[in-house]
Chains A and B, each alone.
Chain A
Amino acid sequence: SQTIHQWPATLVQPVGSPLSLECTVEGTSNPNLYWYRQAAGRGLQLLFYSVGIGQISSEVPQNLSASRPQDRQFILSSKKLLLSDSGFYLCAQTGSGETQYFGPGTRLLVL
């Protein structure tokens, strides 16, 4: 089964502070991993995806970055948060097929 852990569940951060969101997955080895952002009441925006350790593809220019230090660990970071970084951040993985399974999400509020 595909199990995804995300933490923290909620986070309130001041503008200009750093960010680190973590995602760990269980299931098949060498999964594709994804970071999405969802603004309130909106759709899903793909931020980053990774097909392997150290391999990161960025979909949109922004002040966020991603890293994959281990096969089943995906980290989303920022050096200085902006107000516009507020949102619901979702990690997803694919297993042996192309179906994406989503984690529970992290709600980030930047004040």
Chain B
Amino acid sequence: GENVEQHPSTLSVQEGDSAVIKCTYSDSASNYFPWYKQELGKGPQLIIDIRSNVGEKKDQRIAVTLNKTAKHFSLHITETQPEDSAVYFCAASSGTYKYIFGTGTRLKVLA
């Protein structure tokens, strides 16, 4: 079946450094790619998304890049802060309103 692979599963960075999380999807029909941040005990919150007709999108310290040929998309967080510590999930959708989620990345920003 369709799946989304997400790496790494855990990531520790020093405060102020950058963090990169990568996802690979299998369904070539996927055209929408959201990223969610989940803090402990809370529901996931959308932080950024990208559609297949765009190669890159940026929102302040967060950016997402998409390589449709390679079926890769990545989340980039610059100038990390302790409050960026959370679990991050990528997802892919082919327009059926059903998402295929990655397995999550636990990001720890060390002060």
Q: What is the minimal beta-carbon distance from B69 to any residue of chain A, in angstroms? A: 23
Stretch from B16-24, B39-47, B60-68, B70-78 that touches the partner: B39-47
| B89 CB contact (under 8 Å) in A43, A46, A101, A103 | A43
| A98 CB contact (under 8 Å) in B41, B43, B93 | B93
* Distance A45 CA – B87 CA, assembled complex (angstroms): 16
Is A73's CB within 8 Å of the partner chain B? no
Cβ-defined contact, A44 with B89, below 8 A: yes
Cβ-defined contact, B97 with A105, below 8 A: no
| B44 CB contact (under 8 Å) in A32, A46, A98, A102 | A102
Number of B interface residues in the complex (CB < 8 A): 20
Number of A interface residues in the complex (CB < 8 A): 19
Cβ-defined contact, A46 with B98, below 8 A: yes
Residues of B within 8 A of A46 (CB): 98-99
Cβ-defined contact, A102 with B101, below 8 A: no
Closest residue to A103 on the B side, CB-wise?
Answer: B43
Residues of A within 8 A of B32 (CB): 98
Cβ-defined contact, A100 with B99, below 8 A: yes
Residues of B within 8 A of A43 (CB): 89, 101-104
Q: What is the minimal beta-carbon distance from B84 to any residue of chain A, in angstroms? A: 19
Cβ-defined contact, A102 with B43, below 8 A: yes
| A90 CB contact (under 8 Å) in B44, B46, B95, B104 | B44
Closest residue to B87 on the A side, CB-wise?
Answer: A41
Cβ-defined contact, B89 with A98, below 8 A: no
Residues of B within 8 A of A102 (CB): 36, 43-45
* Distance A94 CA – B22 CA, assembled complex (angstroms): 25
Cβ-defined contact, A105 with B103, below 8 A: no
User: A75-111 CB contact bits vs B (8 Å, 1 = yes)?
Assistant: 0000000000000001000100011111111010000
